[in-house]
């Protein structure tokens, strides 16, 4: 029944390719020619943040080799380049929320086993500043989190963290500025976190400053382990 309903919905509202945005045939996820543009992260990767590395004998990327993170470990689905860059832009700024289903299926395929081994109890999206969310209409991290939660059968808590400072985009800052920009940017909504093992999710990972601050807030409330999955990540060499 669910398969029939999905097919019916696809006929009424044809899905779009998450890479080129072209209309797809019912039941399709991505254009045949675009599959090569959606490059998934493969070994060798940084043992901490999951960035792809050039040298398989290298254990950590440059960022993780020189600084300590609040989160335990992270994984990324796609390499942030080519078609995925355009895909992420439309997902964030052009209301292409339907792309989340494709991202989540790939994430579950690549890291479902890893998530089980980490004993993840809940998925928490990195929150947006309320004013920014109202202006955009949605939080792309939350959209991805809910799609991933459906794929894995894990609950999603979007109200566990709130963003209390309207930070500037991280890509415009140096590493030191990024840390200062995000300091105390997140706050727990409840006084105590009832989950021990938490999976943070976001759209793009750069140096980890956002994940570190969000993880720090969760750990301060009693969480024992915070890992993350992001949709895309840059190279770490």
What number does CATH give the domain 38-233? 3.40.50
- Sheet bearing 122-125, strands edge to edge: 73-79, 225-233, 197-205, 122-125
C-alpha distances out from residue 61 to 104, 166, 182, Å: 25, 29, 22
104, containing H or E segment: helix 99-117
pTM above 0.85, yes or no: yes
Residue 8 pLDDT grade (very low, low, confident, very high; cuts 50, 70, 90): very low
pLDDT digit string, tens, across residues 83-116: 999 999 999 999 999 999 999 999 999 999 999 9
Looking at the DSSP assignment, which residues form a beta bridge with residue 121?
A: none
| pLDDT 10s digits, 46-82 | 999 999 999 999 999 999 999 899 999 999 999 999 8
Rg (CA), the chain: 18
Whole-number Å distance between alpha carbons of 217 and 193: 10
DSSP assignments along 175-205, one per residue = HHHHHHHHTT-EEESSSS---SEEEEEEEEE
**Cα–Cα dist 159/117, whole Å:** 25
Residue ranges per structural domain of the chain? 1-33, 38-233
Give, to the nearest 10 degrees, the angle between helix 140-152 and helix 99-117. 60
**Average pLDDT over the chain, rounded to an integer:** 90
């Amino acid at each position: 029944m669910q398969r029939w309903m999905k097919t019916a919905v696809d006929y009424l509202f044809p899905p779009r390719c998450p890479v080129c945005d072209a209309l797809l045939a019912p039941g399709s996820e991505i254009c045949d020619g675009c599959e090569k543009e959606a490059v998934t992260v493969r070994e060798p990767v940084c043992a901490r943040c999951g960035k792809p590395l050039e040298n398989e004998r290298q254990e950590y990327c440059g960022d993780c080799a020189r600084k300590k993170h609040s989160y335990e470990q992270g994984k990324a689905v796609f390499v942030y380049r080519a078609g995925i860059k355009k895909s992420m832009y439309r997902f964030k700024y052009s209301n292409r929320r339907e792309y989340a289903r494709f991202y989540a299926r790939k994430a579950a395929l690549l890291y479902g086993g890893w998530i089980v081994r980490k004993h993840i109890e809940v998925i928490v999206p990195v929150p947006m500043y309320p004013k920014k969310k109202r202006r955009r209409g949605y939080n792309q991290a939350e959209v991805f989190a809910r799609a991933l939660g459906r794929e894995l059968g894990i609950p999603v808590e979007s109200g566990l963290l709130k963003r209390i400072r309207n930070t500037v985009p991280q890509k415009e800052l140096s590493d030191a500025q990024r840390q200062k920009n995000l300091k105390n940017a997140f706050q727990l909504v409840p006084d105590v976190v009832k989950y021990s093992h938490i999976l943070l999710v976001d759209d793009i990972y750069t140096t980890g400053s956002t994940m570190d601050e969000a993880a720090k807030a969760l750990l301060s409330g009693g969480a024992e382990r915070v890992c993350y999955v992001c949709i895309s990540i840059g190279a770490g060499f």
